[in-house]
Amino acid sequence: MTASSHLGLWQLIGLRVVLAAAAATLGAAIAVSFKKISHLGLCLLISFAAGALLAVAIFDILPETFALVGPLKGSISILSGYLLFFLITRFVFHICPACSATHTEVNFKAITAAMIVALSVHSFMDGLAIYAGTRTGSDLGFLILFAVVFHKVPEGMALSLVALGSGMARRRAFFMTFALEAITTLSGGLVGLLFFIPRESVWLGYILGHVGGGFIFLVVHALLSEVVKHHPRYTLLSAFCGALTIGIVGFLIGAF
Of residues 183 and 39, more confidently modeled = 183
What is the C-alpha to C-alpha distance for residues 180 and 156, in angstroms, rounded to an integer?
10
Residue 1: is its pLDDT beyond 50?
A: no
Nearest to 96 by CA among 233, 235, 227: 227
What is the C-alpha to C-alpha distance for residues 147 and 192, in angstroms, rounded to an integer?
19
Q: How many residues are listed for the chain in this entry?
A: 256
Q: Which of 30-39, 119-128, 181-190 has the lowest mean pLDDT?
A: 30-39
Task: Say what the pLDDT of residue 47 is.
Answer: 85
Amino acid at 32: V
Task: Say what the pLDDT of residue 228 is.
Answer: 59
Share of the chain above pLDDT 70, in %: 83
Domain residue spans of the chain: 3-252
Taking only the tens place, the pLDDT of each residue in 135-188 is 887 788 899 999 999 999 988 888 888 778 777 889 998 999 999 999 999 999
Q: Any residues with CB less than 8 A from the CB of 226 and at least 6 apart, and which?
A: 43, 99, 100, 102, 103
Taking only the tens place, the pLDDT of each residue in 48-80 is 988 999 999 999 999 999 998 999 999 999 999
